[in-house]
């Protein structure tokens, strides 16, 4: 199953990806997580990307497309994958189509988690993430059992560098200007499914699994 999770920053893509990994036993490919790992490793690519991410701007397409090309070629993707946070621009979506067609595969479904901008700020400023396993919790809406400790792997929960009210504004702007046009792109491909992302985490998971079966 080749899936994509689509939605604004903070819509719940990372949160829901965790359930799909378990259900379908396929990897999550989050370009945001890959970029943050490159920053932690202080690679040239990471250092270049960091400038954009800290300002809430999109990293250039050429960098992102290179990352995805390498990642999809890895053996754990052979039975499918969950794209999270990619593609985010029309050129990225077009490159993905070309890449997948070269690989002889196609996208089964794009699941869009709809959450209005007014709710996004609270979600992002209360988020706590686990750098070890990528879990995404929330102080109020999805609290960890133990404060600052990841429920999944025991790692220490931290606040992401770009999770502040100022950066959220530019991330939302980037989403509306550059990413939202993909709704038409994937609707035309007949793979686009919209879900109400404002429901509780478990209800969104239920709707998502139902829409895939």
For Zn ion, give the closer residue by CB, 115 or 150: 150
Residue by residue, DSSP assigns 74-130 as SGGGTT-EEEES---SHHHHHHHHHHHHHHT----EEEEEE--HHHHHHHHHTEEE-
- Do the Cβ atoms of 119 and 9 come closer than 8 Å? no
According to the binding rule CB under 5 A, does residue 14 interact with Mg ion?
A: yes
According to the binding rule CB under 5 A, does residue 133 interact with Zn ion?
A: yes
Which stretch, 6-14, 61-69, 142-150, 186-194, contacts Mg ion (CB under 5 A)?
6-14
d(CA 69, CA 58): 18
CA distances to 24, 83, 106 from 123, rounded to whole Å, are 27, 21, 32
CB of 119 to ligand AP5, least distance (A): 8
Pairing of strands 2-6, 109-114: parallel
Which stretch, 38-46, 85-93, 98-106, 150-158, contacts ligand AP5 (CB under 6 A)?
85-93
Q: Which residue has the tokens 């029309």?
A: 90
According to the binding rule CB under 5 A, does residue 153 interact with Zn ion?
A: yes
d(CA 102, CA 6): 23
Of all residues in the shown chain, the one whose CB is closest to ligand AP5 is 32
According to the binding rule CB under 6 A, does residue 7 interact with ligand AP5?
A: yes
Which stretch, 9-17, 21-29, 89-97, 169-177, contacts Mg ion (CB under 5 A)?
9-17
CA atoms within 13 A on the CB side of 48: 9
Q: What tokens does 15 get?
A: 């949160």
Which stretch, 5-13, 41-49, 73-81, 134-142, contacts Zn ion (CB under 5 A)?
134-142
According to the binding rule CB under 5 A, does residue 17 interact with Zn ion?
A: no
Measured in degrees and rounded to the nearest 5, phi and psi for residue 195 equal -125, 155
Interface residue with ligand AP5 among 38, 59, 96, 208 (CB under 6 A) is: 59
Of Mg ion, ligand AP5, Zn ion, none, which one sits near residue 135, judging by CB under 5 to 8 A according to partner kind? Zn ion
Footprint on this chain of ligand AP5 (rule: CB under 6 A): 7, 9-15, 30-32, 35, 52-53, 56-59, 64, 85-88, 92, 123, 126-127, 136-138, 141-142, 171, 199-201, 204
Footprint on this chain of Zn ion (rule: CB under 5 A): 130, 132-133, 135, 150, 152-153, 155
């Amino acid at each position: 199953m080749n899936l994509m999770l689509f939605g604004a920053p903070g819509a719940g893509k990372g949160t829901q990806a965790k359930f799909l990994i378990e259900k379908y036993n396929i990897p999550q490919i989050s370009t945001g997580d890959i970029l943050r790992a490159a920053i932690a490793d202080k690679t040239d690519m990471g250092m270049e990307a960091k400038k954009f991410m800290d300002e809430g701007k999109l990293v250039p397409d050429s960098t992102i497309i290179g990352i995805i090309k390498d990642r999809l070629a890895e053996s754990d993707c052979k039975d499918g994958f969950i794209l999270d946070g990619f593609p985010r621009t029309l050129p990225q979506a077009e490159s993905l189509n070309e890449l997948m067609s070269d690989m002889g595969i196609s996208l089964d479904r794009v699941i869009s988690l709809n959450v209005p901008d007014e709710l996004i700020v609270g979600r992002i400023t209360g988020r706590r993430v686990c750098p070890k396993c990528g879990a995404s919790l929330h102080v109020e809406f999805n609290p960890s059992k133990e404060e600052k400790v990841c429920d999944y792997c025991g790692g220490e929960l931290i606040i992401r560098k770009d999770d502040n009210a100022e950066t959220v504004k530019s991330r939302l702007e980037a989403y509306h200007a550059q990413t939202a046009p993909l709704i038409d792109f994937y609707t035309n491909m007949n793979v686009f499914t919209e879900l109400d992302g404002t429901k509780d985490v478990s209800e969104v998971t239920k709707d998502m699994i139902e829409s895939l079966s």
